[in-house]
Every structure is written in structure tokens, then in C-alpha cells.
Amino acid sequence: MIFSVNETDEQFDFFYVYPYGTFTWSDHEKPLPPTILSVTDAGTGDSLQVEWQRSPSDDVAGYWVFFGTSLYSRTGKHAGDTTSYLLTGLTKGQSYYVWVRAYEEEGNQSDYSDPVTGTPQ
């Protein structure tokens, strides 16, 4: 199997070479990002509740939630096939940026959602 990455558009192509020819499988459609992201204080002093609407794409398998204290630093948590996630272990009074990305079984990922901020109290 030959795996190639087109770095300009972050798409993946898979080629399988066998004795009777070449089989090509490509999926160049990344899913659309989730929408209407909201982040609220969970009331525990160290947690934020993140909620979003599903990606409008049909073949989404799940979501990743990303967070950080700046727009340039992100930590990812796998949320699975759900539309909410509880971020725990955060610092009370510290503001966090939060993004969500959708992914497909084929490995394609959406763009990041627009960032939303939240502060555990």
C-alpha cells in the first residue's frame, strides 16, 4: 500500500498496487465543522461544559474538543460521537479558548470551529 499526503489541502490518497493493476481509493471531502459552539461554567471550579450542533456532513464518525489558554496552544480530547463534553482539570479563574473538530472514519477532519471562550469559576 502506498500512502500519500497532499499537504496543500490536507487530503489523503490511498493506492494499492497488486499484480494485475492498480486500485485507487480517494476521499477528498473533509466534513464541515460543527456549529453553534457554547462553553459554560460547570459549577465545579475546574470544569467547563462544551456543547455544539452536529456537523451538517453525513459521514461524521465523531468529534475532538480542543482547548488552550491562547489561540496558539491547543490540547485535544476525544469526545466520541456526541455533541457535548465536560472539560475537567482546568484552573479556576483562567480563561480558555475552545474549538471542536469533526472527523470521518476515513481519517478526514473538518476545519476547527470558531473559538469560544469560557472561564471555570
pTM of the full structure: 0.76
Chain segment 62-120, per-residue pLDDT in tens: 999 999 999 999 999 999 999 999 999 999 999 999 999 999 988 899 999 999 999 99
Long-range contacts at 9-18 (CB < 8 A, ≥ 24 apart): 10/109, 11/108, 12/106, 12/107, 12/108
Per residue in 16-52, pLDDT (tens digit) is 444 555 444 555 689 999 998 999 999 999 999 999 9
CATH numbers and ranges of domains, the chain: 1-29 (no CATH), 35-118 (2.60.40.10)
